[in-house]
Amino acid sequence: MTTASWLDLPADSLFGIHNLPYGVFTTPDDPRPRIGVAVGEQVLNVAAVANTVGVDPELTDLLDATTLNPLLGAGRPVWTQVRALLTEWLTDPAFRSAVEPELTPRQDVSLHLPFQVGDYVDFYASEHHAANLGRLFRPGSEPLTPNWKHLPIGYHGRSGTVVVSGTPVVRPQGQRKAPADAVPNFGPSRRLDIEAEVGFVVGAPTELGDSVPLDGFADHVFGVCLVNDWSARDIQAWEYVPLGPFLGKSFATSVSPWVVPLEALRQARVAPPARDVEPLPYLDDRDAKEPWGLDLSLEVRLNGTVVSRPPFAAMYWTAAQQLTHMTVNGASVRPGDLFASGTVSGPDRGTEGALIELTWNGERPVALPDGTTRSFLEDGDEVTITATAPGPDGSVIGFGEVSGRVLPARG
């Protein structure tokens, strides 16, 4: 693509013409939530432009909404059509007079949860993360459980506590029991952690009883966002056997406000790591023409300091395998379903996506420029996760950020 925008965006813009992520915004003048597309330093009110230039009324209806859900449910052909329209508006100077009045500086808008979340599923797809957690949670056992390389392990999280970036996170209280304690005690989590993840937003639904094959991924997944799956390690460690994490996770999951369309990630697609256990046929992507490994580079900042750079390309299981596995039993998906990759941790120090790994359970605390150190999060700490991916023509696709500050536990 050699498209250039009449907006005259800098070549290194993370929200350039090849990105065009979707969100939902309000302005001080107009508190009605509406769909926006980020371009450069501005946000485009897409329904307003659609109304001005006159497009298919069915398309306008999808865009003139308070959440992305109607658009999500419309499916791949419509997503392609809308993206083509956006590109035309932003590149053909004939549309400049219609588009320009509908641009608002990004700094002047408030961003909201861009879609109503249906089911939220969290996977566990980084071999490095799963092995690290296995060593920390189950010392003396094999780090990976026997099923790990046969299926993408996942579980359902709480969709009602998915919040948009910027929402403060109240330190959770709960039951904690250190190995030396005879009985559990109750109080604020002492081991509040993050999980830097990548989230996949489901668009087109399926019927109960059907499943999505590996090559159906792009028909059903609309786009990608960033996720911080806040985790209270002490609560989680005590509660999670035998039915999995619950209160250690359910107090908050933060997502970035911009959903990057799958089309923007064409140049980011890479082969996933070699499959050293033969996958069952429904999960076998070794001969896939278009593997769904994605070369996203994440950064985790703690109070402004970069503490980790997790590489998404190192994830063992792809999002396509996750969607196929999640539906192979006939479970249906809905517009607004969100599934996250699990913590993105690479093989090297400084690439871990959670503090428990980065600080090795507090044994090697992270030093911050103010002279303090962190094993886990303290009240007032702010965590920000960003990511970029390669785009066409040397451009870079940005994901914006998912950020949150820790508030003290309520008394």
253 among annotated binding-site residues: yes
- Given the rule CB under 8 A, which of 10-18, 22-30, 64-72, 178-186 is the region that contacts a second copy? 178-186
Count, residues near a second copy per rule CB under 8 A: 67
Q: Which two tokens stand for residue 374?
A: 């962190």
Q: Which is nearer to a second copy, 253 or 395 (by Cβ)?
A: 253
377 binds a second copy per the rule CB under 8 A = no
Cα 155 from Cα 339, distance rounded (Å): 10
147 binds a second copy per the rule CB under 8 A = yes
Cα 211 from Cα 129, distance rounded (Å): 28
Place of tokens 């060593």: 135
x/- mask, a second copy, residues 254-283, rule CB under 8 A, reads --------------------------xxx-
Determine which helix (DSSP H) or strand (DSSP E) holds 123, and give its type and residue range.
strand 120-123
43 binds a second copy per the rule CB under 8 A = no
Place of tokens 């026997």: 146
Q: Which residues lie closer than 8 Å to 373 by C-beta, 6 or more apart? A: 365, 366, 367
Name the minimum Å distance from CB 159 to a second copy.
6
Name the minimum Å distance from CB 129 to a second copy.
12
Q: Which is nearer to a second copy, 7 or 252 (by Cβ)?
A: 252
Closest CA to 253 of 340, 334, 130: 340
Residue from 6, 95, 137, 360 in contact with a second copy (CB under 8 A): 137
- List phi, psi (to 5°) of 95: -90, -5
Q: Which residues lie closer than 8 Å to 242 by C-beta, 6 or more apart? A: none
Question: Which 206-225 residues touch a second copy, going by CB under 8 A?
Answer: 208-211
Determine which helix (DSSP H) or strand (DSSP E) holds 58, and give its type and residue range.
helix 57-63
Pairing between β-strand 42-45 and β-strand 30-39 as defined by DSSP bridges? antiparallel
290 among annotated binding-site residues: no
Q: What is the CA radius of gyration of the chain?
A: 21
327 among annotated binding-site residues: no
Name the minimum Å distance from CB 242 to a second copy.
6
Place of tokens 């320009």: 100
Name the minimum Å distance from CB 100 to a second copy.
38
Place of tokens 């450069």: 40
| Residues 57 and 106: beta-carbon distance below 8 Å | no
Question: Which 308-367 residues touch a second copy, going by CB under 8 A?
Answer: 325-326, 328-334, 337
183 binds a second copy per the rule CB under 8 A = yes
| Catalytic residue IDs | 129
Residue from 8, 93, 185, 371 in contact with a second copy (CB under 8 A): 185
| Residues 50 and 41: beta-carbon distance below 8 Å | no
x/- mask, a second copy, residues 232-251, rule CB under 8 A, reads x--x--xxxxxxxxxxx-xx
- Given the rule CB under 8 A, which of 78-86, 96-104, 180-188, 396-404 is the region that contacts a second copy? 180-188
Cα 278 from Cα 146, distance rounded (Å): 14
x/- mask, a second copy, residues 107-126, rule CB under 8 A, reads -----------xx-x--x--
Name the minimum Å distance from CB 87 to a second copy.
33
Cα 378 from Cα 171, distance rounded (Å): 9
| Residues 45 and 27: beta-carbon distance below 8 Å | no
Cα 357 from Cα 362, distance rounded (Å): 9
138 among annotated binding-site residues: yes
Q: Which is nearer to a second copy, 75 or 134 (by Cβ)?
A: 134
DSSP labels, 216-258? GHHHHEEEEEEEE--EEHHHHHHH-TTT--STTTTT-EEE-S-
8 among annotated binding-site residues: no
Specify binding-site residues for Ca(2+): 122, 195, 197, 229
Specify binding-site residues for substrate: 124, 138, 236, 240, 343
Specify binding-site residues for Mg(2+): 229, 249, 253
Specify binding-site residues: 122, 124, 138, 195, 197, 229, 236, 240, 249, 253, 343
Q: Which residues contact a second copy (rule: CB under 8 A)?
A: 118-119, 121, 124, 134, 137-138, 145, 147, 150-151, 153-161, 163, 167, 170, 172-175, 177, 183-186, 208-211, 232, 235, 238-248, 250-252, 280-282, 325-326, 328-334, 337, 407, 410
